[in-house]
Amino acid sequence: MTAQTGIGARVKRKEDQRFLTGTGRYVDDLPLARATYAHFVRSPHAHAKIKSIDTSAAKAMPGVVAIFTGKDIADAKVGGLICGWVVKDKHGQPHKAPPHPVMAVDTVRYVGDTVAMVVANSHDEAKDAAEAIKIDYDVKAANVDLAKALDKGAPEVHPEAPGNLIYDWEIGVKADVDAAFAKAAHVTKIDIVNNRLIPNAMEPRAAAADYDKGTGNYTLWSTSQNPHVLRLILSAFVLGIPEHKLRVIAPDVGGGFGSKIFCYNEETMVTWAASRVGRPIKWTAERSESFQTDAHGRDHVTHAELALDKDGKFLGLRVETVANMGAYLSTFSTAVPTYLYATLLAGQYTTPLIYANVKAALTNTAPVDAYRGAGRPEATFVIESIVSKAAKELKMDPAELRRKNFIPSTAFPYQTPVALQYDSGNYPPIIDEAIKIADYKGFEARRAEAKSRGKLRGIGFSSYIEACGLGPSRVIGQLGGGVGQWESAQIKFNPTGNVQILTGAHSHGQSHETTFAQVVSDKLGVPIENIEVIHGDTATTPFGMGSYGSRSLAVGGSAIMMAADKVIAKGKKIAAHLMEASVADVVFEQGTFKVAGTDKAVPLGQAVFAAYVPHNYPLEELEPGMDENAFYDPSNFVYPAGTQICEVEVDPDTGEVEIVNFTAVDDFGNIVNPMIVEGQVHGGIVQGVGQALLENAVYDKETGQLISGSYMDYTMPRADDVPSFKLGNKVTPCPHNPLGVKGCGEAGAIAAPAAVMNAVHDALAPVGVSHVPMPATPLSVWQAINGASK
Amino acid sequence: MTIPVAMTVNGKPASGKVEARTLLVQFLREHLGMTGTHVGCDTSQCGACVVHVDGKSVKSCTMLAVQAEGAKVITIEGLAESAEKLHPMQEAFRENHALQCGFCTPGMVMSAIDMVKRHNYQLDEATVRRELEGNLCRCTGYHNIVKAILAAAPAMKSAGV
């Protein structure tokens, strides 16, 4: 049984039946009797004073139920949205925290900022009425260009953050790193822009809320990756509804990639307004609203320098980064370019000295926060770009330069100079395997063959490390995080022996309903069809932190393992009683309690039944029932690592880049379901390829208009932009969690941009091009080849 | 002002009164409560809303409900013979892990079935990738979707669907 459904098996997903037959239930699918529909009026300006709002004509439109503006919210003393991570600057001062009103009161600060909410009997009527609201704006100069955001005289986004500076933060000792540079035989320098991305989960954000006048209870259905955290924020900081009177349900959620972690204006507004309107309110973003208002990702400007000795050993790394925060600080925005970025700058290497300085800047653009990888793709792009550039400058093989500097497998646990202690890893076999799969040896022949067809062929490496499985609560607290980062689980047996696993994690594509069931099937010997995973409802599941940062299996799965251990411990006592044996003599093997050396046996199901029908049961010593809870707080992050090799062909006539081979070899520790892990890697790679070749969030630098505001303008990766992938894996089990697992959700997106861009640069080196910005669109590649970019 | 509209959806008569501007996808989701067909964008790019109208795949956000007057519409809910016997394309998606969050899946499956038929059950990888240009997926990286469609083509042929 466990061989087919346990840990390591390619179990087909339990989720698929409903998704394949159109019976999934996403927020917008909910049938709510007497529902009203909300539509938000959004700022058309990047920066303006609101002189007046006239809703009188709109209120008289057909079907309109209510209209609310920022003034209504302010009068009701609704709190602002919070940033939940306090980063202290290099002087020990907490970051600047300008207010983030749920709806703009007198100033709008980005195109899409929320100005008014119309509630009507239908969505079309709400939209029609919204057009009849008259708003008089006094348009101000906007601060849009990140490269100039901190310049003297740049338009100020918030008076609370003079000069638009949220923090000036550093890690490492600059003088020590400078001394290492003074001794260097070679210094490689790089200037990069990590392009701004829009997450684009296929299901737009949505929220629906209902208020029960009789009980005073609110229910919010939200496309959230972490319903308990959302409830906590809304209760404790924003709306003041007591936690036990607010139920948050995140049902089927169509992808998140980080963008659905955060507490947004819209779910706040529909919840607040539901009690005022007295009917349920539904809101679903149109895609253009998602483009404008979902928290964006990345958006760094970085200068980095790598010092090497004469043999190519890394001596030191210096990094200066300006990170865009947008117009307001989103929920975890401040942590992304600091603790999730600069602490990863050691990569897989023994670089002994690292200094990073990060300045976070406000601009009149949408808020920027965690997006698949969150800080780690930016760090990997810096390291893996500069290492490949150094190899080129030193005329060394890029794989060889990496190998020369890898942390040796004997050095774990390995303390990096930037705070993290890597728990485990073995990097050389990973790159060896990738080189084998990619046929690196045969590359020059392929390059020559491509040249005969007029194509420029290149190959690029990216050897990433990431810290995920967030995370040890104590460390998170020391770094300024406002929440714990444990995860919860409950294993609830029913009297007939089937099992409900309740988890505080949330699945929005990750396949927890299958993976978590495999873990329990394996551990307790219960047939997988008798196991149900329940998640996403604060009323039924234990308080949990939700899913992001590749944490669900490493942290949530560990909690499940702990709860399963409690089931076994209790079952042993019951079985000992039933078998008239000593507890110490009882062992649990493949779903059955046995007394070693005898033929006495009690299947788990029998012990469970006895626990619910305790007629022959040690009631004096043991509670009835079989329902065990666990909370697991990890002792460290987990550190997946891998190497990707990308091979491209560039058409010098058109500038078009085609990915012709893509190899990824990862170490995710032990693997519960290889099919699901491979799917995560495929999807991650394509998001990384999207960043490298296609995707770019562009604002007009004068007006702050979002130019890439639809699928007609923002290039999403499509099926014919990518090849099929060649994957491999190596295993060094995580030494500190019970499953030995590391996170796999973000790795693909973390490593891929550097692999692709290193391949593009390798392809273009023979024609004298050393740098193409991301995304390497046909236009920018053609311009680089033809010297037209300046 | 509303207009009466009547069509056949998944083999059953369906009718209602709609505004002239009501889209076919709105009629399916909001009037008939058939929420298997999804809306993922507002520019007819993502393909989450693909259904079959008189045997051809159509983005139901680009068609007015009144334009489907008298048509035979098949949605994702109408594909499987029973809960146990899925359409070969649905089965191939499951077998090949061609879906993660499930949101683009209905449109992918409906487009894929039409693609297989238009190519007379003969497809190669490059064709599948080119033909999928009207359907966006953010989760799978398309790898397993392509695999599933290639596997489903002969399965559909032998099943005679």
Residue of B nearest to A679 (CA): B140
Is A467 within 8 Å of A549 (Cβ atoms)? no
pLDDT digits (tens, 9 = 90+) for A480-535: 999 999 999 999 999 999 999 999 999 999 999 999 999 999 999 999 999 999 99
Is A568 within 8 Å of A588 (Cβ atoms)? yes
Q: How far apart are CA A28 and CA A319, in angstroms?
A: 44
Residue B83 lies in a domain: no
Name the residue facing A22 among B106, B125, B133 (closest C-beta): B106
Q: How far apart are CA A111 and CA B62, in angstroms?
A: 27
As a whole number, mean pLDDT of residues A137-144 equals 98
Which CATH number belongs to the domain containing residue B118 in this structure? 1.10.150.120
Q: Residue A24 and residue B36: Cβ atoms within 8 Å?
A: yes
Cα distances from A69 to residues A53, A74, A617, A700, in angstroms, run 8, 9, 63, 28
Q: Are residues B69 and B98 in the same domain?
A: no
Is A195 within 8 Å of A695 (Cβ atoms)? yes
Q: Are residues B46 and B104 in the same domain?
A: no
Cis peptide leading into residue A775 (ω within 30°): yes
Confidence at A340, pLDDT banded by 50, 70, 90: very high
Residue B19 lies in a domain: yes
Q: Which residues of A533-547 are buried (b: 16+ CB within 10 A; e: fewer)?
A: bebbbbeebbbbbbb
Helices B143-159 and A674-689, packing angle to 10 deg = 120
Residue of A nearest to B142 (CA): A719
Name the residue facing B101 among A255, A716, A719 (closest C-beta): A255
Tracing tokens 């920027």 back to the chain, one arrives at: A368
Chain A residues touching B16 at Cβ < 8 A? none
Whole-number pLDDT of residue A634: 97
Listed in sequence order, the residues at least 6 apart from B23 whose beta carbon sits closer than 8 Å to its beta carbon are: B60, B61, B62, B63, B64, B65
Q: Are residues B73 and B41 in the same domain?
A: yes
Q: How far apart are CA A695 and CA A752, in angstroms?
A: 13
Q: How far apart are CA A322 and CA A193, in angstroms?
A: 10
CA A729 distance to own-chain centroid: 22
CATH of A2-23+486-632, one of 3.30.9.80, 3.10.180.10, 3.30.365.10, 3.40.50.720: 3.30.365.10
Q: Of B78, B106, B128, which closes a domain?
A: B78
- Give the pair of three-digit tokens for residue B93: 């998606």
Confidence at A787, pLDDT banded by 50, 70, 90: confident
Q: Residue B42 and residue A718: Cβ atoms within 8 Å?
A: no
Residue of A nearest to B89 (CA): A20
The Cα of B65 is separated from the nearest Cα of chain A by a number of Å equal to 15
Q: Are strands A456-465 and A641-650 parallel, antiparallel or unpaired?
A: antiparallel
**Mean pLDDT (chain A, rounded):** 97
Fill in the amino acid letter for A783: Q
Q: Residue A255 and residue B103: Cβ atoms within 8 Å?
A: yes
Residue A333 neighbours by CB distance under 10 Å:
27
Chain A residues touching B77 at Cβ < 8 A? 21-23
Q: Are residues B69 and B104 in the same domain?
A: no
φ, ψ of residue A709 in degrees (nearest 5): -105, 15
**Which three-class secondary structure state does DSSP give residue A75?**
helix
Q: How far apart are CA A352 and CA B28, in angstroms?
A: 62
Listed in sequence order, the residues at least 6 apart from A91 whose beta carbon sits closer than 8 Å to its beta carbon are: none
Residue A529 neighbours by CB distance under 10 Å:
11
Name the residue facing B103 among A12, A202, A676 (closest C-beta): A202
The DSSP call for residue A690 is: I
pLDDT digits (tens, 9 = 90+) for A422-470: 999 999 999 999 999 999 999 999 999 999 999 999 999 999 999 999 9
Chains A, B: CB contacts under 8 A, how many?
178
Q: How far apart are CA A774 and CA B124, in angstroms?
A: 31
Task: With a cut of 90, say whether residue B67 has pLDDT above it.
Answer: yes
Q: How far apart are CA B43 and CA B13, in angstroms?
A: 29
When divided into structural domains, chain B yields a total of 2
A357, β-bridge pairs:
A170, A320
As a whole number, mean pLDDT of residues A241-247 equals 98
Chain A residues touching B36 at Cβ < 8 A? 21-24
Q: Residue B94 and residue A12: Cβ atoms within 8 Å?
A: yes
Listed in sequence order, the residues at least 6 apart from A85 whose beta carbon sits closer than 8 Å to its beta carbon are: A332, A333, A334, A335, A479, A480, A481, A482
Residue B38 lies in a domain: yes
Residue B71 neighbours by CB distance under 10 Å:
18
Chain A residues touching B144 at Cβ < 8 A? 679, 682
Q: Residue B100 and residue A24: Cβ atoms within 8 Å?
A: no
* B interface test, pick of A10, A15, A19 with most B CB neighbours within 10 Å: A19
Q: Residue B138 and residue A683: Cβ atoms within 8 Å?
A: yes
Residue A216 neighbours by CB distance under 10 Å:
11
Between CA A135 and CA A146, with CA A141 as vertex, the angle to 5 degrees is 120
pLDDT digits (tens, 9 = 90+) for A168-202: 999 999 999 999 999 999 999 999 999 999 999 99
Chain A residues touching B137 at Cβ < 8 A? 202
| HEC assignment per residue over A227-287 | HHHHHHHHHHHHCCCCHHHEEEECCECCCCCCCCCCCCHHHHHHHHHHHHHCCCEEEECCH
Q: Are residues B126 and B101 in the same domain?
A: yes
The Cα of A687 is separated from the nearest Cα of chain B by a number of Å equal to 8
Whether A33-140+202-255+260-293 and A2-23+486-632 are alike in CATH topology: the answer is no
The Cα of B132 is separated from the nearest Cα of chain A by a number of Å equal to 6
- Give the pair of three-digit tokens for residue A51: 């002189």
Q: How far apart are CA A768 and CA A770, in angstroms?
A: 6
What does chain A come to in residues? Answer: 790
Whole-number pLDDT of residue A788: 58
**Whole-prediction pTM:** 0.98
Task: With a cut of 90, say whether residue B1 has pLDDT above it.
Answer: no
As a whole number, mean pLDDT of residues A604-610 equals 98
Task: With a cut of 50, say whether residue A1 has pLDDT above it.
Answer: no
φ, ψ of residue B15 in degrees (nearest 5): -145, 165
Q: Are residues B54 and B103 in the same domain?
A: no
Q: How far apart are CA A102 and CA A117, in angstroms?
A: 11
Identify which of A131, A135, A111 has the alpha carbon closest to the alpha carbon of residue A43.
A111
Which residues span the domain enclosing B126? Answer: 88-159
Q: Of B78, B99, B132, which closes a domain?
A: B78
- Give the pair of three-digit tokens for residue A447: 């390059």
Name the residue facing B97 among A13, A18, A253 (closest C-beta): A13
Confidence at A471, pLDDT banded by 50, 70, 90: confident
Q: How far apart are CA A484 and CA A467, in angstroms?
A: 17
Task: With a cut of 80, say whether residue A2 has pLDDT above it.
Answer: no
- Give the pair of three-digit tokens for residue A512: 């927890």
Task: With a cut of 80, say whether residue B58 has pLDDT above it.
Answer: yes
**Which three-class secondary structure state does DSSP give residue A600?**
coil
As a whole number, mean pLDDT of residues A591-609 equals 96
Is A526 within 8 Å of A520 (Cβ atoms)? yes
Residue of A nearest to B28 (CA): A29
Q: Residue A255 and residue B99: Cβ atoms within 8 Å?
A: no
- Give the pair of three-digit tokens for residue A472: 């040890």
Q: How far apart are CA A582 and CA A595, in angstroms?
A: 9
What does chain B come to in residues? Answer: 161
| HEC assignment per residue over A366-417 | CCECCCCCCCHHHHHHHHHHHHHHHHHHCCCCHHHHHHHHECCHHHCCEECC
Residue B94 lies in a domain: yes
Q: Are residues B28 and B72 in the same domain?
A: yes
Name the residue facing B140 among A16, A286, A682 (closest C-beta): A682
The domain defined by A300-471+636-785 folds into Aldehyde Oxidoreductase; domain 4 (3.30.365)
The Cα of A514 is separated from the nearest Cα of chain B by a number of Å equal to 12
Q: Residue A287 and residue B46: Cβ atoms within 8 Å?
A: yes
* B interface test, pick of A10, A11, A20, A535 with most B CB neighbours within 10 Å: A20
Q: How far apart are CA A551 and CA A469, in angstroms?
A: 4
Cis peptide leading into residue A413 (ω within 30°): yes
A38, β-bridge pairs:
A119
**Which three-class secondary structure state does DSSP give residue A655?**
coil
Task: With a cut of 90, say whether residue A3 has pLDDT above it.
Answer: no
* A interface test, pick of B138, B140, B144, B149 with most A CB neighbours within 10 Å: B138
Is A556 within 8 Å of A516 (Cβ atoms)? yes
Residue A122 neighbours by CB distance under 10 Å:
16
Q: Are strands A300-308 and B72-74 parallel, antiparallel or unpaired?
A: unpaired
Is A263 within 8 Å of A234 (Cβ atoms)? yes
As a whole number, mean pLDDT of residues B67-84 equals 97
Q: Residue B141 and residue A685: Cβ atoms within 8 Å?
A: yes
Q: Are residues B11 and B72 in the same domain?
A: yes
Chain A residues touching B133 at Cβ < 8 A? 718-720
Whole-number pLDDT of residue A789: 45
DSSP H/E element including A54: strand A48-54
**Which three-class secondary structure state does DSSP give residue B12?**
strand
Task: With a cut of 80, say whether residue A790 has pLDDT above it.
Answer: no
Q: Are residues B23 and B74 in the same domain?
A: yes
Chain A residues touching B47 at Cβ < 8 A? none
Query: Could you tell me which CATH number the domain at A33-140+202-255+260-293 has?
Result: 3.90.1170.50
Cα distances from A83 to residues A94, A109, A266, A481, in angstroms, run 12, 17, 16, 10
Name the residue facing B45 among A16, A31, A712 (closest C-beta): A712
As a whole number, mean pLDDT of residues A661-684 equals 98
pLDDT digits (tens, 9 = 90+) for A359-379: 999 999 999 999 999 999 999
Residue of A nearest to B37 (CA): A22
Residue B39 lies in a domain: yes
Task: With a cut of 90, say whether residue A17 has pLDDT above it.
Answer: yes
Task: With a cut of 60, say whether residue B44 has pLDDT above it.
Answer: yes
Q: Of B32, B47, B78, which closes a domain?
A: B78
Tracing tokens 């551990």 back to the chain, one arrives at: A523
**Dihedral sign, CA of A709, A711, A712, A718?**
positive
As a whole number, mean pLDDT of residues A37-64 equals 98
Domain boundaries, chain A: 2-23+486-632, 33-140+202-255+260-293, 300-471+636-785
Identify which of A682, A255, A725, A714 has the alpha carbon closest to the alpha carbon of residue B105.
A255
Name the residue facing B76 among A22, A676, A720 (closest C-beta): A22
Identify which of A361, A430, A444 has the alpha carbon closest to the alpha carbon of residue A399.
A430
Q: Residue A202 and residue B76: Cβ atoms within 8 Å?
A: no
Tracing tokens 């005679």 back to the chain, one arrives at: B160
Which CATH number belongs to the domain containing residue B26 in this structure? 3.10.20.30
Q: How far apart are CA A7 and CA A12, in angstroms?
A: 13
CB burial class (10 A; 0-12, 13-18, 19+) of residue A60? exposed
